[in-house]
Homo-oligomer: A and B are copies of this chain.
């Protein structure tokens, strides 16, 4: 069974660059990658926060948050 990866972003230029490169580079054999736009889907901000996400873009792999460069803090998206 594939593991779950979630890429959180907010449409910012830093986010788009990370999505085009890092999210796209994730091995589809190992991971199902879900892309979540927290600006458009604010109902999922709490879920991201619970997982330890502090800023976007961020990649959640097997439940661990990895912040990729810096686009915006989660608090700016609320």
Chain A positions near chain B (C-beta within 8 angstroms): 5, 17-18, 21-22, 25-31, 59, 61-62, 64, 66-69
Complex alpha-carbon distance, A21 and B69, angstroms: 17
Complex alpha-carbon distance, A5 and B68, angstroms: 15
**Copy total for this chain:** 2
If A25-B5, A25-B27, A26-B26 touch, whether A69 touches B67 (CB-CB below 8 Å) is yes
Distance (whole angstroms) from the CB of A14 to the closest CB of chain B = 10
Pick the contact of A22: B21, B29, B66, B69 (CB < 8 A): B66
Distance (whole angstroms) from the CB of A51 to the closest CB of chain B = 13
Distance (whole angstroms) from the CB of A45 to the closest CB of chain B = 20
